[in-house]
A and B are shown apart, each in its own frame.
Chain A
């Protein structure tokens, strides 16, 4: 299928984008890796597509004492390739290199992934575990939300009309921090059927766990000490989240969560560093 007719605008800066997006029939597009197919299938029919992928304000990064604020239009590939610094010991590149295929990573953006809010996508779950915040700008000004507050449900976010994601703030983590990330995909590059991310940072006492690839928003446990310390903890957590009704699916999620937790010990150190 071919997309229905739409206008295409590429404003020069964020102010221009805000103006263009004031039209209620306009829709922002960054990498277009989800919106593109939806346009072609005529499932999305905006009157105007506003291309924000090259806005200078969305393409940079800003080092802050507590972390790094990344421009929303940075691509997965830029994280994968280390083209931007990482406030964690390599966790962002680890997540990025597992997203879809390289062709998707070359164009797809971190902000676009959050805005699309596919429950099975990598960034929403991984960034929720990493305690990231989403920076938004719209007609009413700017605001910040934790990832788990930004994503309201499957394909549903706190974005209001005319508002865009401008950046993602990822907190700095110590060299002792560990990150376990596991997902089950039917094939390389496919959306996950089960997913879990765990962050442990002894320096700040952080123990966060996020479960993705549910039918709804990510399950985020801010203090996952119980799940991390005893083997039955994951079961309790999945039951509490209502993810234990189908026994076969429950066992898959449990196995993936166990792998993520096990990976804290084995896989989370970047090359060249020892635990």
Chain B
């Protein structure tokens, strides 16, 4: 737990350490901050056409006819025109899973507002939109499934060959014995998290073109997982994979929205082959909000059982996830539901557990795994519950958490759902958050009251975040991809500089910097002399891509493996040049160092490439260009964790909430680059604050989305961000190359829980307890009103004390 890697500690000055643990400045910023990034929106190919999609105006309807004027022939395409193109099928191998066939253009039926019905191509997007207006679609409207609880019971069938609107029911029962129901404390709560959109700065976009020189369909697309898109596209189009190249240029944030194969990508690829012209589609903000990128909509009914000291004895839950109309490729409609079942117990030592989760099909866009995936909803649910238990027990929520968290002496710990918590000190992270937020000071301040009449409240949330899930986690799912051994290509170039090539994609994770630091750590080469090549299937080895907080562990490990292998080959040539035995040389500081001297990488590379006559006859012919693989010693994933604590001020009359203080004590193991980790945490926290207080995609009773611009879909801005204070613990993972853990999603997991608990703490005196996110001013006002209208005796019995 040495405090290596503190920002600034190992940076600055000539010859400073620039490998693992250094806060090296982001290499990619040289182009991105100068406005010189190249995104899909910046790209144009000769002869390019732009696509606009005529999208469904109804949530659920049969298509009776599509009237396309004759002059649009060859410009406007419907499902029947794409004969031979297969539906997108994101199956799972889970028993009982129902497969939804997602056509790239609607086939006889529409299942959500915004589903593509007709693709129209023109020289410009504006013109294509003009042409869309000339097309008329006749619908026969069907009842829309908007509320997941009703949809699962008796809604009009969305996929008509299914018996009910449910993709999958997931359940678990562990040690649950009805005697637990006699526990002294029994608390039941209903928690709901609203549907959200992911809203990366850059929307989705793609350009498809046929490259005759290599006889490949090239899809330039804003994706997090080029190799997976390649496989999915090949399947839909019926092409050999070798016939497709997928390239992600600069990508302006993904958060999960760019971790799937999209119908629009299939359409553009098909049209480019059909017309032999480049075809581009650029998602605009309206399409993003109404037709796509939906996430997070969960509903929970939970009962927690505890002893009078607040120790959890059992948890019982029924959850619904509104998975939308289709199962997305490759993650399926059940990732959220399965994560709810397996993650709801959180970082707690829960003795008994029973949970059933319905992944419901609804007439809304497919739900997509968003940063944190189900864990944000799960953390909100369990952490609001822990506070409810604490209130029922009359004990500080902080103390109840301390009594239930898995302790360091129990590590490595197998949770009640079989999660292998690798290492860490959860109670210590919470204790430090308690100190940093000045718990005692806040409690004293609450007693004194605020001069401005506001109510202040203190809230905590703790979570652990499984990242870098490996084969053993995914193979049982039977979804279209299983992460396995991660590969990296490494090549010493003729001048002795280095290329490393990975199959993931960096779209904000700073991998062009951090992976260069890994190469530096192994070879001693300056990160500035390392190019990290990513996002292009033609140039990189296969990878499932960038998702699930996996790149620091997996790509980081793979780069280290490749550099180690390369070091061996460099050493052999170097040893020969130094006339030293192999055992006597080491590779350090981009040199081969022998007993009597050294040679630089530049000299080694020059020998291999430019003066092979100087190589020994028995040289390893495989040279200075290789691919190597990596997987952690235990592949069930790393478990980073954090405690969040915050103080809010609430005005009951207006419902206004101000975050006065926010602290995070996080353990990501060894940090490859502490500055980058902090950036990830800040960004995730901003999104978590959005979930907590602002973001909500509302639908009316007909399934019409009510937010189609950012005036209606509120995102937190700079003005809403508190000055988040971060402290690091660094418990190295025993299973990864440098002890690093995945932390990419964590910031987005806990804020709704911490802020929600703080708001409830602030308003506890008024008898208010909120359980729906986002906790908007309107919801706060209405909760205050409702509490005032309710007699206090009723309030007390609603507290759920069994005694």
In the complex, A201 has a CB within 8 A of chain B: no
| Residue-wise interface mask of B (712-743) relative to A, using a CB-CB cutoff of 8 A (1 in contact, 0 not) | 00101101100000000000000000000000
CB within 8 Å for A256 and B717 given contacts A193-B777, A251-B781 = no
Residue of A nearest to B784 (CB): A248
Least distance between B772 CB and chain A CB atoms (Å): 15
3 smallest CB-CB distances across A and B, nearest first, come from: A188-B719, A2-B126, A248-B781
Determine whether the beta carbon of B720 is less than 8 Å from that of A255.
Answer: no
Determine whether the beta carbon of B777 is less than 8 Å from that of A1.
Answer: no
Determine whether the beta carbon of B709 is less than 8 Å from that of A37.
Answer: yes
Residue of A nearest to B774 (CB): A186
Apart from A187-B694, A188-B719, A252-B777: 8 A-B pairs, beta carbons within 8 A: A41-B709, A184-B656, A186-B694, A188-B720, A248-B655, A248-B778, A248-B781, A251-B785
From B284, B708, B776, B781, residue with most partner A Cβ within 10 Å:
B781
Chain B 249-299 residues near chain A, CB threshold 8 A: 284, 286
Residue of B129, B653, B708 near A251 (CB, 8 A) is B653
Taking CB atoms, residues of chain A closer than 8 Å to B284 are 1
| Residue-wise interface mask of B (111-142) relative to A, using a CB-CB cutoff of 8 A (1 in contact, 0 not) | 00000000000001110011000000000000
Determine whether the beta carbon of A254 is less than 8 Å from that of B653.
Answer: yes
CB within 8 Å for A248 and B785 given contacts A188-B719, A191-B711, A255-B654 = yes
Residue of B130, B655, B708, B784 near A4 (CB, 8 A) is B130
In the complex, B782 has a CB within 8 A of chain A: yes
CB within 8 Å for A184 and B717 given contacts A251-B653, A252-B655, A254-B653 = no
Chain B 778-796 residues near chain A, CB threshold 8 A: 778, 781-782, 784-785
Chain B 648-674 residues near chain A, CB threshold 8 A: 651, 653-656
Taking CB atoms, residues of chain A closer than 8 Å to B653 are 251-252, 254-255
Determine whether the beta carbon of B714 is less than 8 Å from that of A1.
Answer: no
Least distance between B526 CB and chain A CB atoms (Å): 40
| Residue-wise interface mask of B (524-565) relative to A, using a CB-CB cutoff of 8 A (1 in contact, 0 not) | 000000000000000000000000000000000000000000
Determine whether the beta carbon of B781 is less than 8 Å from that of A2.
Answer: no
CB within 8 Å for A41 and B286 given contacts A184-B656, A252-B777 = yes
A194 to B711, CA, bound (A): 16
From A2, A42, A256, residue with most partner B Cβ within 10 Å:
A2
Taking CB atoms, residues of chain B closer than 8 Å to A252 are 653-655, 777, 781
In the complex, A241 has a CB within 8 A of chain B: no
In the complex, A189 has a CB within 8 A of chain B: yes
Least distance between A5 CB and chain B CB atoms (Å): 7
Chain A 223-256 residues near chain B, CB threshold 8 A: 247-249, 251-252, 254-256
Determine whether the beta carbon of A190 is less than 8 Å from that of B714.
Answer: yes
Determine whether the beta carbon of B777 is less than 8 Å from that of A184.
Answer: yes
In the complex, A3 has a CB within 8 A of chain B: yes
Size of interface on A: residues with Cβ below 8 Å to B: 25
Determine whether the beta carbon of A256 is less than 8 Å from that of B129.
Answer: no
CB within 8 Å for A187 and B717 given contacts A248-B781, A256-B654 = yes
A190 to B694, CA, bound (A): 12
Q: Which residues on B are within 8 Å of A, measured CB to CB?
A: 124-126, 129-130, 284, 286, 651, 653-656, 694, 708-709, 711, 714, 716-717, 719-720, 776-778, 781-782, 784-785
Residue of A nearest to B786 (CB): A248
Residue of A nearest to B718 (CB): A188
Taking CB atoms, residues of chain A closer than 8 Å to B708 are 41
A5 to B714, CA, bound (A): 30
Residue of A nearest to B783 (CB): A248
Residue of A2, A184, A255 near B129 (CB, 8 A) is A2
Least distance between A98 CB and chain B CB atoms (Å): 12
Residue of A nearest to B129 (CB): A2
Chain A 1-37 residues near chain B, CB threshold 8 A: 1-5, 37
Chain A 252-271 residues near chain B, CB threshold 8 A: 252, 254-256
19 contacts between A and B (CB under 8 A): A2-B124, A2-B126, A4-B129, A4-B130, A5-B130, A41-B708, A184-B656, A186-B777, A187-B716, A188-B719, A188-B720, A194-B654, A248-B778, A248-B784, A249-B781, A251-B785, A252-B777, A255-B651, A255-B653
Least distance between B134 CB and chain A CB atoms (Å): 12
Taking CB atoms, residues of chain A closer than 8 Å to B694 are 186-187
CB within 8 Å for A187 and B714 given contacts A1-B129, A41-B286, A247-B785 = yes
Taking CB atoms, residues of chain B closer than 8 Å to A189 are 717, 719
Taking CB atoms, residues of chain B closer than 8 Å to A248 are 655, 778, 781-782, 784-785
A5 to B125, CA, bound (A): 12
Determine whether the beta carbon of A3 is less than 8 Å from that of B126.
Answer: yes
| Residue-wise interface mask of A (189-227) relative to B, using a CB-CB cutoff of 8 A (1 in contact, 0 not) | 111011000000000000000000000000000000000
A224 to B785, CA, bound (A): 28
Taking CB atoms, residues of chain A closer than 8 Å to B785 are 247-248, 251
Taking CB atoms, residues of chain A closer than 8 Å to B778 are 193, 248
A239 to B114, CA, bound (A): 42
Taking CB atoms, residues of chain B closer than 8 Å to A42 are 129
Taking CB atoms, residues of chain B closer than 8 Å to A256 are 654
Residue of B125, B130, B720, B784 near A187 (CB, 8 A) is B720
Residue of A nearest to B711 (CB): A191
Least distance between B716 CB and chain A CB atoms (Å): 7
Taking CB atoms, residues of chain A closer than 8 Å to B781 are 248-249, 251-252
A249 to B717, CA, bound (A): 25
Residue of B nearest to A255 (CB): B653
Residue of A nearest to B716 (CB): A187
Determine whether the beta carbon of B654 is less than 8 Å from that of A186.
Answer: no
A1 to B709, CA, bound (A): 11
A39 to B655, CA, bound (A): 34
Taking CB atoms, residues of chain A closer than 8 Å to B124 are 2
Least distance between B44 CB and chain A CB atoms (Å): 16
A187 to B124, CA, bound (A): 36
A194 to B129, CA, bound (A): 37
Least distance between A265 CB and chain B CB atoms (Å): 15
Taking CB atoms, residues of chain A closer than 8 Å to B286 are 1, 41
Residue of B125, B654, B720, B784 near A184 (CB, 8 A) is B654
Least distance between B120 CB and chain A CB atoms (Å): 13
Residue of A nearest to B779 (CB): A248
Least distance between B681 CB and chain A CB atoms (Å): 21
Residue of B nearest to A248 (CB): B781
Taking CB atoms, residues of chain B closer than 8 Å to A1 are 129, 284, 286
Taking CB atoms, residues of chain B closer than 8 Å to A193 are 777-778
Residue of A nearest to B708 (CB): A41
Determine whether the beta carbon of B654 is less than 8 Å from that of A188.
Answer: no
Taking CB atoms, residues of chain A closer than 8 Å to B125 are 2
Least distance between A104 CB and chain B CB atoms (Å): 11
Taking CB atoms, residues of chain A closer than 8 Å to B651 are 255
Taking CB atoms, residues of chain B closer than 8 Å to A191 are 711
Least distance between A233 CB and chain B CB atoms (Å): 17
Residue of A nearest to B656 (CB): A184
Taking CB atoms, residues of chain A closer than 8 Å to B719 are 187-189
A186 to B776, CA, bound (A): 8
Taking CB atoms, residues of chain B closer than 8 Å to A186 are 694, 714, 776-777
Taking CB atoms, residues of chain A closer than 8 Å to B654 are 184, 194, 251-252, 255-256
A109 to B720, CA, bound (A): 26
A251 to B720, CA, bound (A): 24
Determine whether the beta carbon of A188 is less than 8 Å from that of B655.
Answer: no
Taking CB atoms, residues of chain B closer than 8 Å to A2 are 124-126, 129
From A3, A184, A248, residue with most partner B Cβ within 10 Å:
A248
Chain A 34-64 residues near chain B, CB threshold 8 A: 37, 41-42
A83 to B653, CA, bound (A): 38
A247 to B653, CA, bound (A): 10
A37 to B124, CA, bound (A): 19
From B654, B709, B714, B784, residue with most partner A Cβ within 10 Å:
B654
Taking CB atoms, residues of chain B closer than 8 Å to A4 are 126, 129-130
A1 to B286, CA, bound (A): 7
A18 to B776, CA, bound (A): 46
A248 to B785, CA, bound (A): 6
A41 to B712, CA, bound (A): 14
A248 to B786, CA, bound (A): 9
